[in-house]
A and B are shown apart, each in its own frame.
Chain A
Amino acid sequence: MTTTSIRTAPPSHAQTYLRALGRFSVLPPFVIVAIACIVLAPNFLSSSNVANMLINGSITAIIAYGMTIVIALRGLDLSVGSLQGLSACLTAVAYSVFGTGLGIAAGLAIGLAVGVVNGVLVAYLRVPSFVATLGMLGILRGVALLVTNGQTIQGGSSFLNYVVNGRVVGVPIPFLLALALLGVWLVVFYYTPFGRHVVAVGGSPEAASDSGIRVRRTTVIAFALSGLSAGVGGVLLMGQLSNVTGDLGTGLELQVIAIAVLGGTSLAGGNGNLIGTLVASLLLAMIDSALNLLNVPSFYQYLAIGLLLVAALSLDSVRARVSRRLVQNS
């Protein structure tokens, strides 16, 4: 229906418009869902609910930033869910033995270490990232369950708890952290050689290699950063929950990939939309909390996420097709 009206418009305008729409394709669903939630869900805008949403959305977003970079590299990291769980468990265990500082360090270190292993598997041992990280998913989940021995661990680091649930000028600290990290990632992605290399390798590994880019090193760094992001997510999760179990983060990997794609990052590689990733994380957190407030049985969340994903992808596909036709016509 919009096709005809767009086609009569000057092509250059239409193309710019469509490109902008593609760049921010997550915004229309975000706004629609936000309005629907505010109208339908009681107490949706209460300060505690907003804070909760922001904390949940921010922790996911921090992990999803790393995934966005890996996807931009035309890879996937399926280990992040298990890694977040393992990192949270190690933080809890190390905290109770060595104190807060080393607890946090342990959580971050395991993230970074696993990320490097993933990167080496993919870059140097040439295992496709999907299955390499699928293997790590199983290994890390097993280790997390072994560390906790299947029990709940009372992590209760009061400092971490305080930070994760604390606010500065009314804004939850995890959200500020997510914004700060977004800034860091944007600088890394758009203003450093590494960021350009990621895009180049994701677009075409052969061309990147022929241009003198060190493909393997770029790959290892990207996976290391994704692992580190999952580590940060684990530490924050432990701060949020205080009690941890070995099965934390189960299934998160696919959800995070879905968030990155919803945010406008293509699985074909060569691009990454970090701002979209943050918005999409908040969008899913919003849906979660609204369904909770409305007392809808939790299994409706499956339906909501599925429909949102398929609808958003379909719109994007239609947009891409229209855009292509315009290019061909002009």
Chain B
Amino acid sequence: MSTTQMTGSASVAPSTAPEGERPRKRIALVSRVGRYYLQIAVFVMLVVFCIVVPDFGSTGNLAAVATQASYGGIIACGMTLLIAGGLFDLSVAGVVAIAAVITGLALPHTSIGIAVLIGLATGTLLGWINGLIITKIALPPFIATYGLFNIYTGVAFIILNGNVLTIQSVYFNQIGTAAVFGVPVVFLVFIVACFVSQLLLNRTRFGRRLRAVGSSETAARMAGIPVDRVKIIAFAVTGLFTGLAAIFLAALLSSASGTMATGIELNAITIAVVGGTSLRGGQGTLLGTFTGAVFLVSLNTALNLIGVSSYWQNVAIGLVLVLTLVIGALTRRDKIRGAD
């Protein structure tokens, strides 16, 4: 788990094993196709759903799938960066709440553009605070961000005195349903977020350093990488994405409240992991994160359309997660694993 890396004992954490002495044919094949197996599988699944499931292929439904995939997906972009850096952020549901509440409160007093900027700034600020607390006080990210989630959620509730804030601005609420040539704006933003994160992670010095920190913090520190600064930036970027998701979510719901995004942190982590980002840090795939978000939401929607009880959807998503991981694990060959 990522927290082990806070202790400096990361150097002993098992990474991928040396190339197997006896590579199996089946596994070699799997890993070759494996590069894009998720994309292929999801594409096939979407085609099958469009043919088999009534109404799945309708423009309205596809737009709904794209919209729903985007909220968790945008946050999952940030989460992918964090996981690649061996970090975690369980506070995002609280950040969404505060960013949405502050945007909602600012709206009657200013223009929509300024209110949106305030929301984004709030998200970034809270992410930056997360990073600051975790690096400067040296707290394990998992449990510290869970504490911060509680604080943020509490603060959002206290600002509103436990009520739900209704957002009256019609124009702001249109952001939630706006579309360009039938493609929901929030989905376009999600795609842009994926591209930006992909470039950040794989084409910039920051990304290279972040991956180094995720692989081995001790080694990164010895190589002279400013570990704390890299981590703080990663948290701030996640905060920015979270603020973005908060604005679209608030616009869609026409409201903001302390519990408006409950559970979105685990949702975002699920998306990233199903997409193929390893919790062991050091790497992340934004194409995977994009596919993961689309995959989970289309599965849910298809089950809905066939009339399967929503209770089964919990089971289905859990099974998908476990199966994806088992497949991923079986194609890996590391010798000894603890429970992390």
Chain A residues with a Cβ under 8 A of chain B: 70, 73-76, 78, 121-123, 125-132, 134-143, 145-146, 150, 201-202, 204-209, 215, 219, 222-223, 246, 254, 257-258, 261, 266-269, 297, 299-310, 313-314, 317-318, 321
Restricting to B140-156, which residues have a CB under 8 Å from any CB of A? Answer: 140, 142-144, 146-155
Across the interface, which residues of B come within 8 angstroms of A143, CB to CB?
311, 315
Across the interface, which residues of B come within 8 angstroms of A74, CB to CB?
1, 4, 338-340
A142 close to B314 (CB less than 8 A): yes
Chain B residues touching A, range: 35 or more
Residue on B with the closest CB to A121? B322
B338 close to A302 (CB less than 8 A): no
B210 within 8 A of A: no
**Separation in Å of the A6 CB from the closest CB of chain B?**
19
- Given A74-B338, A129-B340, A222-B339, A299–B258 Cβ distance below 8 Å? yes
**Separation in Å of the A39 CB from the closest CB of chain B?**
23
The docked-state distance in angstroms from the alpha carbon of A130 to that of B138 is 22
B321 close to A146 (CB less than 8 A): no
Chain B residues with a Cβ under 8 A of chain A: 1, 3-4, 6-7, 9, 12, 14, 90, 133, 137-140, 142-144, 146-155, 157-158, 161-162, 258, 266, 269-270, 273, 278-280, 309, 311-322, 325-326, 329-330, 332, 334, 336-340
Across the interface, which residues of A come within 8 angstroms of B7, CB to CB?
266, 268
Across the interface, which residues of A come within 8 angstroms of B147, CB to CB?
258, 305-310, 313
B154 close to A138 (CB less than 8 A): no
Task: Known pairs A206-B336, A300-B154, A314-B137; list 6 more (Cβ under 8 Å).
Answer: A138-B314, A142-B316, A246-B311, A267-B143, A306-B148, A310-B144
Across the interface, which residues of B come within 8 angstroms of A150, CB to CB?
311
Across the interface, which residues of A come within 8 angstroms of B143, CB to CB?
257-258, 261, 267, 309, 313
B150 close to A142 (CB less than 8 A): no
**Separation in Å of the B61 CB from the closest CB of chain A?**
23
- Given A127-B325, A127-B326, A258-B147, A313–B139 Cβ distance below 8 Å? yes
Q: Which of B157, B319, B336 is close to A302, meaning CB atoms less than 8 Å apart?
A: B157
A306 close to B150 (CB less than 8 A): yes
**Separation in Å of the A187 CB from the closest CB of chain B?**
22
B1 close to A76 (CB less than 8 A): yes
Across the interface, which residues of B come within 8 angstroms of A307, CB to CB?
147, 151
Across the interface, which residues of B come within 8 angstroms of A310, CB to CB?
133, 139, 144, 147-148, 151
A201 close to B339 (CB less than 8 A): yes
The docked-state distance in angstroms from the alpha carbon of A87 to that of B315 is 16
**Separation in Å of the A224 CB from the closest CB of chain B?**
12
A142 close to B144 (CB less than 8 A): no
The docked-state distance in angstroms from the alpha carbon of A113 to that of B326 is 19
Q: Which of A126, A145, A306, A317 has the most CB of B within 10 A?
A: A306
Q: Which of A76, A145, A267, A308 has the most CB of B within 10 A?
A: A267
A139 close to B318 (CB less than 8 A): yes
A269 close to B4 (CB less than 8 A): yes
Q: Which of A127, A141, A202, A314 is close to B338, meaning CB atoms less than 8 Å apart?
A: A202
- Given A131-B273, A142-B313, A299–B9 Cβ distance below 8 Å? no
The docked-state distance in angstroms from the alpha carbon of A289 to that of B321 is 37
Across the interface, which residues of A come within 8 angstroms of B309, CB to CB?
146
**7 nearest A-B pairs in the assembled complex, by CB-CB distance:** A75-B339, A306-B150, A142-B314, A303-B154, A138-B318, A205-B338, A309-B147
A204 close to B12 (CB less than 8 A): yes
The docked-state distance in angstroms from the alpha carbon of A300 to that of B162 is 9
**Separation in Å of the A42 CB from the closest CB of chain B?**
22
**Separation in Å of the B317 CB from the closest CB of chain A?**
5
A302 close to B318 (CB less than 8 A): no
B133 close to A135 (CB less than 8 A): no
A205 close to B269 (CB less than 8 A): no
B321 close to A131 (CB less than 8 A): yes
The docked-state distance in angstroms from the alpha carbon of A305 to that of B143 is 12
A267 close to B339 (CB less than 8 A): no
Q: Which of B3, B311, B338 has the most CB of A within 10 A?
A: B338
A125 close to B330 (CB less than 8 A): yes
B325 close to A128 (CB less than 8 A): yes
- Given A75-B338, A303-B158, A145–B311 Cβ distance below 8 Å? yes
Across the interface, which residues of B come within 8 angstroms of A309, CB to CB?
143-144, 146-147, 150
Across the interface, which residues of B come within 8 angstroms of A204, CB to CB?
9, 12, 338
A145 close to B314 (CB less than 8 A): yes
